[in-house]
Amino acid sequence: MSLGTCFTIGCVGHLGKYDSCEVEALHAISLDPGSETTGDVEAHGHFTLIEIPEADRSYTFEPHSGGHTIEIEAGWWIVAGNSQGFVSADHYATEEEARKVFAEEEARYAEWLGEED
């Protein structure tokens, strides 16, 4: 199986469901307990809000994934997954901007569930 490569410094390849090594790393980070999440990957889409502080920009993949280290852009991110297994991530300059978009996704999900006010 051939892995895609990207322009992320340190990229040695990433799975096709990710646009880049950075998105693959952000997805792994977003799976940590305690992350703010909304949605359902089987229907609406699943969204996770995470912050990457300047001091935590380095991410080292697990040894079974190559064990290489990349740099992630600091700031706020929303990581999204869909029912086909594809994952994307959007970067936001401020917490306020990220939380606004995240709240919009929460509202869309509540509406999809029929929990609208």
**Distances from the Cα of 67 to the Cα of 11, 59, 63, 78, 92, angstroms:** 11, 10, 4, 24, 28
- Which stretches of the chain are DSSP H helices? 21-30, 95-113
The predicted model scores a pTM of: 0.78
Residue 110 pLDDT: 84
- Per-residue pLDDT of the chain (117 residues), as tens digits, is 345 555 555 555 555 677 777 888 898 888 887 788 887 767 667 899 999 998 888 887 765 566 678 888 899 999 998 888 889 999 998 999 999 999 998 898 888 888 655
In whole angstroms, give the CA distance from residue 17 to residue 99: 25
